[in-house]
Amino acid sequence: MTKKILILPGDGIGPEIINQAEKILAYLIDEQALDLEFEHGLIGGSAVDAEGVPLPDSSLARARESAAVLLGAVGGPKWEQIDRPLRPERGLLAIRAGLDLFANLRPAVLFPQLASASTLKADVVNNLDIMIVRELTGGIYFGQPRGIKKLDDGQRQGFNTLVYSENEIKRIARIAFEVASKRQGRVCSVDKANVLEATELWREVISELAKDYPDVELQHMYVDNAAMQLVREPKQFDVIVTTNMFGDILSDLASMLTGSIGMLPSASLASDGKGMYEPIHGSAPDIAGQDIANPLATILSLSMLLRYSLSENVIADKIDNAVNQVLTDGLRTKDIHADGMTCVGTNEMGDAVVTALSNQF
Ligand code: IPM
Ligand code: MG
């Protein structure tokens, strides 16, 4: 049976980077390399404009019926002042929660061609390959109560709640241990157990669970130290497992080690195998519509989708090779551009990846 995937372009640069991934999908379907259909749905600010909510029921329903979801990015200044529950980011959180996508895998891998694009010295980042496993449907992003209220003295107070229950910690930790057992076998759990009880429990639960994985080495690290270590000696890490908010922050940090946030894909997985795939960067409204955004993180997200949700490893490898090839050929979008390289736009980069892909068929 033909599988269906749902594409949610979103806002800002979302539609233009998604376009490039679609060119690849269209090529693969045309070549009959994939038996797949794709359709589009609304999310984020564009959904607010069209339907008044950041995640229309129809988008969630279609996501549930699809084999996987490919997402661009959401948000922008246009929607920053609207009612909080209607903000684009709430649409993203709602689909993550609605599909129970608790495990967010964010690989920070350096393409050797980009070693000089990193702000760190080449020898610090050469061969860098870290997997950040971010808890995605719990923690302070979702904890209740939350809000902004008026105090008796008239001033306003903002509040959020950091909560983690044992089962939430266990299921994300299992993913991290399993991922590590297929890599170098090392997990670093990042918390703030010296201050926050929720992460004191996090540390305890992960330590207990580690007994089930005798071949994986577990280390604990406070988040402030982890941020420092990621810049000081990033290659000490294999798999990092951490909470929703720490993972959000550390994955942006790790992306810069690889040259640009425009290079990092991600996979968000549920226990039933459902997956949503998106670049880790945001909607970059400041550069939207200018044909300068880097589409490679989205193209690599498509490759992850084919690998994890559809078991199309051979095709995923071909897409990864194609990305490798265009970088070797010296093509660079503005964010990764360097002397002697060819600066290309979003569309040109997408076309080049399709060409490099077609050369493998
Ligand atoms: C990310 C983004 C989102 C997050 C925003 C857009 C809600 O920063 O995917 O990392 O904080 O999770
Ligand atoms: Mg983020």
Indicate whether 252 and 313 sit together in one domain: no
Q: How far is the C-alpha of 105 from the C-alpha of 241, rounded, in Å?
A: 9
Name the CA dihedral angle for 230, 231, 236, 239, rounded to a multiple of 10 degrees: 20
- Predicted confidence (pLDDT) per residue in 113-137, tens digit: 998 888 899 999 999 999 999 999 9
Query: Is there a single domain that holds both residue 40 and residue 114?
Result: no
Measured on CA atoms in the order 338, 360, 129, 246, is the torsion positive or negative?
positive
The answer to whether residues 91 and 140 belong to one domain is no
pTM of the complete model: 0.95
Q: Are residues 256 and 289 both part of a single domain?
A: no
Check: CB of residue 293 under 8 Å from CB of residue 348: no
Residues 6+ apart with CB under 8 A from 192: 199, 222, 223, 224, 246
- The SS3 call for residue 276 is strand
Co-location of 200 and 220 in the same domain: yes
The answer to whether residues 33 and 95 belong to one domain is: yes
Q: Which domain holds residue 28?
A: 1-102+270-361
- How many separate domains does the chain show? 2
In angstroms, the CA 155 to CA 12 distance is: 35
Which atom of ligand 1 is least distant from the CA of 75? 6
Residue among 265, 136, 133 nearest 187 (CA): 133
Task: Specify whether 141 is catalytic.
Answer: yes
In this structure, the answer to whether residues 84 and 142 fall within a common structural domain is: no
- Kindly state whether residues 73 and 3 are assigned to the same domain: yes
For the chain, give the longest Cα–Cα distance: 70
Final residue in a domain of this structure, among 243, 263, 283? 263
Query: Is 274 designated active site?
Result: no
Same domain, 135 and 218: yes
Q: Which residues, listed in sequence order, are joined to residue 5 by a DSSP beta bridge?
A: 38, 68
Spatial separation of the C-alpha atoms in residues 10 and 284, rounded to whole Å: 12
336 and 316 co-located in one domain: yes
- The terminus-to-terminus CA distance of the chain in angstroms comes to 23
Please state at what angle helix 346-358 crosses helix 296-308, rounded to 10 degrees.
40
308 is an active site residue:
no
- Nearest-atom number in ligand 1 for the CA of 248 is 10
Domain end residue (candidates: 234, 263, 292): 263
Q: What is the mean pLDDT of each run of 10 residues along the chain (361 residues)?
A: 95 98 97 96 98 98 97 97 95 97 96 89 94 98 97 98 98 98 98 98 98 98 98 97 98 90 95 93 97 98 96 97 98 93 98 98 94
Could you list which residues have their CB under 5 Å from ion ligand 2?
Answer: 248
**How many alpha carbons fall within 13 Å on the CB side of residue 338?**
12
List pLDDT tens digits, range 134-190.
999 999 999 999 999 999 999 999 999 999 999 999 999 999 999 999 999 999 999
> Which CATH number belongs to the domain containing residue 150 in this structure?
3.40.718.10
The residue whose CB lies within 8 Å of the most ligand 1 atoms, and thus the one to mutate among 11, 43, 92, is 92
Rounded-to-integer distance, Cα 90 and Cα 55, Å: 8
Q: Which of 241, 263, 285 is where one domain is finished?
A: 263
Are 132 and 267 in contact by the 8 Å Cβ rule? The answer is no
Same-domain status, 256 and 274? no
- Say yes or no: 86 and 23 in one domain: yes
Q: DSSP assignment of 70-112, as one string?
A: EEEE---GGGTTS-GGGSHHHHHHHHHHHTT--EEEEEEE--G
